[in-house]
Amino acid sequence: MSEPSEWQRRIEGEWHGRPSLFDATGAWQGFEDIRRSSVFEDGAVTYYMDGGLEGGGPLAGRFKLGAPFAFGVTDAGADRVYTGPDFYGSGRPYGSFVDARYYGPGWQVGLNTWNLTIGDTQVYSSVLFQGPAVVGCFNGLYTRDPAQVGDWLPAETANGPVPYILPTKAAGAYAGACELYGPDGKPQGTVEITVELEPIDLLRTRHHVTWTGALDRRHTVDVRRDGFRSFYEGPDSWGNAQAYGRANFPRLHLADGARLEGREFMMDASPGMGAGTSLAVVYEVFEGNLLGAVLYGVLTWSSS
């Protein structure tokens, strides 16, 4: 490999973050201070992670290690293949987003990492598995802008444990242009997404969801929140979601047989009695049981 891939060029540089660790129920456990970089040198890619776990509760023994991570990456074709020794598996880029599924022998967990790059910001999450069971989740925001690091890490300390929540009294909508990719990783155009919120009470909201452009879809669903969990109760889609801090992971089944698996990350969530205004979304759309499309972007709130 003589030149780095398009994805490798997107993520060059050193990224700084303080992702939060959550247990399987969504309860916050601690922080992981991380500096990470993916380096292309002499035709090979090596991924480095250095940092340390602060706190962790019952998970500390599993996720605290005595040495930095390093692993090789075969970066050619549609997938990035992770060749160890610290992680084994693969990840597929879709423009600025990568969906990676791999195993970490040191942590003894399988990981599903979703990483969305927005300029010098990365919206990161890793859901951690023991077999099919969720053990926990790391998530947070990273920056590679050295001028922002000094303020970034204190902000992640304050905001990392904040639970995901949407407006409970104000009607309005999250809306924005999102990029659409096929399962082969090739761009398919732009989709305008609008998620119109109609509050019913403090724990229930009716969502009117509209996608227009390269992919057209509409559905209405009543969403009931119960702590870190949400339940989607028709009339046009059904399912549930689990939140880990600012990141909500819904799984929806639509009446026509399509399925959505997603992540909705409230980028500007902060402590206090309010909801954020910038929602970074990723949705994987399955037609039957086959991946049909990947969609991602940032939605911005406006009140009615």
pLDDT digits (tens, 9 = 90+) for 93-113: 999 999 999 999 999 999 999
Average pLDDT of the chain is 94
Q: Lowest-pLDDT range, 45-54, 116-125, 140-149?
A: 45-54
- For 203, phi and psi rounded to 5 degrees? -120, -5
Superfamily of the domain at 6-159 = Calycin beta-barrel core domain (2.40.128.20)
Amino acid 1: pLDDT: 52
Amino acid 22: pLDDT: 98
Rounded Cα–Cα distance for residues 277 and 289 (Å): 33
Amino acid 45: pLDDT: 83
- Look up tokens 């040495």; give the residue: 67
pLDDT in tens, 156-184: 999 999 999 999 999 999 999 999 999 99
- Is residue 200 classed as helix, strand or coil in its secondary structure? coil
Amino acid 40: pLDDT: 79
Amino acid 31: pLDDT: 96
Q: Lowest-pLDDT range, 1-5, 49-53, 222-226, 270-274?
A: 1-5
**Range(s) for CATH 2.40.128.20 in the chain?**
6-159, 172-303
Rounded Cα–Cα distance for residues 108 and 198 (Å): 43
Please tell me whether the overall predicted TM-score, pTM, comes out greater than 0.85 for this model: yes
Q: Is 167 in contact with 180 (CB distance < 8 Å)?
A: no
Chosen CATH of 172-303 out of 2.120.10.70, 2.40.430.10, 2.40.128.20, 1.10.274.10: 2.40.128.20
pLDDT value at 43 more than 80? no
Amino acid 2: pLDDT: 61
Rounded Cα–Cα distance for residues 47 and 75 (Å): 11
